Amino acid sequence: MFQSFDSTANPAQGPARVKKLRALLAENGLHGFLVPRSDEHQGEYVAPRSERLQWMTGFTGSAGAALVLREAAHLFVDGRYTLQAKQQADAGTFTIEDLMGNPPAKWLTENAAKGWRIGIDPWLHTVAEARALRQALETAGGELVALETNPVDAIWDDQPGPPTGAVAIQPLAYTGEEAGAKLARLATAVKDTGADATVLTDPASLAWAFNIRGADIPHTPVPLGFAVLHAKDRHALYIDGRKLDTEVLAHLEPLARLCPPDTLEADLRQLAETHAATVAIDPALAAEKLRLLVEEAGGTVTEMPDPARIPRATKNAAELEGSRAAHRRDGAALAKFLCWLDAQKPASVDEIGAARQLEDARRAVGEATQMPLREISFDTISGAGPNGAVIHYRVTHNTNRKLGAGELYLVDSGGQYQDGTTDITRTVAVGEPSAEMRRHYTLVLKGLIGVSQLRYPEGTRGADIDVVARAALWQAGLDYAHGTGHGVGAFLSVHEGPQRIAKTGTAKLLPGMIVSNEPGFYKEGAYGIRLENLIVVTPAEDIPGGEIAMHGFETLTLVPFDRRLIDTALLTEAERSWLDSYHARVLTEIGSMVDGETLAWLERATASLAE
């Protein structure tokens, strides 16, 4: 759980590995090679064999890229990782660059010399990324070279093999729709765009479409693999046979031809060559390699968004029922944890200890309810005092801090259960909070309530409503430097697209989409406040006296807000009333799942604000 980066990093090896890579580049007439932090599926988490960036540079962050040139090497990371990258990567070898302000494509436009040949592994870059890199190099008079084999793999002697986590069937009770029906819908979508086939490259789409789950990468229960979905022909699923037991085989065989992953290239080539097929791929998700395979074999590539994205994002009744149950369980675990935390003396608990206690509480409730915690849905953010102000804080043994008196403690965590994925943030007072802390907490809470109780017409996009979570902070001259909410999957990825509440949220909010609602405020060097509930878009309903049926949100998360941090004078009557109803609902829904001290704590925590 606590991947302490100082223990796994090995900056000492960086220079030697870079030297080996350079030798290989020279042999191949290349002036450089780009090492991204991604695998063939472009997800947030990757298997150990795909941690090439870390192996090459020592840098363990979750985003970045290294550009290794003949004479220099550049490590591109975003603002939250600048310090970490400097600590982890060999300073004599790597210059740190700004991934956001000056990403590799921009850097190459401005710095590449005429004639430069820069290599990439086209399996590790999307069509859109490769296009940007190609244009950048062409502008500079250079050339992007898509390599047949990855030179990092060639020099990485003890590179782990592909993961072989067991695949499990996700039962109909939780998926609410047979895989056959889903695949038929996807085939229709492919047909409607005029393509012969599409390649599903996102493991979450694969998992959703085939009603399976996997164990190949951390935190996200997906199996790595690809599927080629045909408009008319039989589908093909490319997945390592070692992951499939008899039962899973029996489930999958009626749905698709099961093929070893290493036959995908040949099959695609044949499809393109023999049938002159038109293959649809999502340029934002699919590897550049797929485009090259099809086009080089004489096929046509058309672009379409992954057809599983919207059906997967709009949860059906069974998925929502599962999510509600998972959130009751998660709420009981949080209550147990928060009750325990309240009983500890200030400075007696540290960030790692608190996060362990929370994970234990999730496990305990999971076991008691026969629905065990499969995994935490991401590395817990457990930040006391000033650490709470670091938005993507990940505690390490070096930064681990006691929860001291008069401080705020921010904990952002989630669980993966077979019936749903959770993600919740609460901020609590340790000892006596200051008036300023209470004011800031209440302003953040007003934003959360604003979104929670909003009604909005069909067609409203996440971008349209982002301001609702910020207005109270803005009035006070405050803001937060992140979006208000991200999509969440159904026992899938805790970060799911396309739904989101943010200035960049151009997807319409459709019934069944689960998004987070997590405004915050961060006072650098002092404390962080973030409050996060998961909410689901409800179907448009008539409002008495209204003319337009309106969507709204149902709140899934069931955990009290810290009353010690609420300045009720700053809340409107409508806000107080929302909070009282929410707390009453929390008690009703999870009261029966806890007992003893926790129940007593929960009753106090959920009492009306007027009491």
> Which residues form the interface with a copy of itself (CB under 8 A)?
436, 439, 453-457, 463-468, 471, 474-479, 503, 523, 542-550, 572
Question: Cβ 456 to a copy of itself, closest distance in Å?
Answer: 5
Question: Cβ 192 to a copy of itself, closest distance in Å?
Answer: 18
Q: Which is nearer to a copy of itself, 111 or 453 (CB)?
A: 453
Single out the residue of 400, 366, 364 nearest to residue 2, CA to CA: 400
Q: Which is nearer to a copy of itself, 81 or 522 (CB)?
A: 522
Question: Cβ 462 to a copy of itself, closest distance in Å?
Answer: 11
Q: Which is nearer to a copy of itself, 43 or 462 (CB)?
A: 462
Question: Cβ 556 to a copy of itself, closest distance in Å?
Answer: 21
Helix (H, G, I), strand (E, B) or coil at 298: coil
Rounded Cα distance, 557 and 448, in Å: 12
Single out the residue of 129, 161, 101, 149 nearest to residue 36, CA to CA: 129
For Cα atoms 574, 589, 593, give the angle at the middle one, nearest 5 degrees: 145
Per-residue b or e along 511-541, where b marks 16 or more CB atoms closer than 10 Å to that residue's CB: ebbbbbbbbbbbbeebbbbbbbbbbbbbebe
Single out the residue of 226, 223, 112 nearest to residue 165, CA to CA: 223
Q: Which is nearer to a copy of itself, 71 or 547 (CB)?
A: 547
Q: Which is nearer to a copy of itself, 541 or 597 (CB)?
A: 541
Cis peptide, bond prior to residue 433, ω within 30 of zero: no
Q: Which is nearer to a copy of itself, 157 or 547 (CB)?
A: 547
Structure tokens at 535: 């909410």
Q: Which is nearer to a copy of itself, 1 or 100 (CB)?
A: 100
Q: Which is nearer to a copy of itself, 192 or 542 (CB)?
A: 542
Question: Cβ 475 to a copy of itself, closest distance in Å?
Answer: 5
Question: Cβ 466 to a copy of itself, closest distance in Å?
Answer: 7
Question: Taking a C-beta distance cutoff of 8 angstroms, is the pair 239, 164 a contact?
Answer: no
- Reported for 587-591, long-range contacts at CB under 8 A and 24+ positions apart, including other chains, are 589/328, 589/331, 589/558, 590/328, 590/331, 590/332, 590/335, 590/558
For 70, other C-beta atoms within 10 Å of its C-beta total 12
Q: Which is nearer to a copy of itself, 100 or 600 (CB)?
A: 100
Query: What separation, in Å, do the N-terminal and C-terminal C-alpha atoms of the chain show?
Result: 40
Rounded Cα distance, 157 and 163, in Å: 17
Question: Cβ 442 to a copy of itself, closest distance in Å?
Answer: 13
Question: Cβ 547 to a copy of itself, closest distance in Å?
Answer: 6
Question: Cβ 576 to a copy of itself, closest distance in Å?
Answer: 12
- CA 544 → CA 118, 324, 541, 549, distances in Å? 63, 27, 10, 10
Q: Which is nearer to a copy of itself, 185 or 508 (CB)?
A: 508
Single out the residue of 271, 511, 492, 284 nearest to residue 374, CA to CA: 492
Q: Which is nearer to a copy of itself, 310 or 463 (CB)?
A: 463
Question: Cβ 181 to a copy of itself, closest distance in Å?
Answer: 33
Single out the residue of 557, 492, 420 nearest to residue 45, CA to CA: 492
Q: At what angle do helices 264-275 and 288-296 cross, to 10 degrees?
A: 40
The sign of the CA dihedral 179, 184, 188, 191 is positive
Q: Which is nearer to a copy of itself, 91 or 467 (CB)?
A: 467
CA atoms within 13 A on the CB side of 426: 24
User: What are the φ and ψ backbone dihedral angles of 553, each rounded to 5 degrees?
Assistant: -125, 140
Question: Taking a C-beta distance cutoff of 8 angstroms, is the pair 47, 163 a contact?
Answer: yes
Which alpha helices (DSSP H) does 344-470 contain, by range? 351-368, 435-452, 462-465
Q: Which is nearer to a copy of itself, 160 or 546 (CB)?
A: 546
Question: Cβ 405 to a copy of itself, closest distance in Å?
Answer: 24
Question: Cβ 464 to a copy of itself, closest distance in Å?
Answer: 5
Question: Cβ 463 to a copy of itself, closest distance in Å?
Answer: 7
Q: Which is nearer to a copy of itself, 295 or 436 (CB)?
A: 436
Question: Cβ 518 to a copy of itself, closest distance in Å?
Answer: 18
For Cα atoms 302, 303, 309, give the angle at the middle one, nearest 5 degrees: 135
Rounded Cα distance, 256 and 152, in Å: 34
Query: What DSSP string describes 224-260?
Result: --EEEEESSS--EEE--GGG--HHHHHHHTTTSEEE-
Q: Which is nearer to a copy of itself, 191 or 455 (CB)?
A: 455
Question: Cβ 483 to a copy of itself, closest distance in Å?
Answer: 12
Helix (H, G, I), strand (E, B) or coil at 131: helix
Sheet holding 514-517, edge to edge: 456-457, 550-555, 533-541, 514-517, 485-487, 496-501
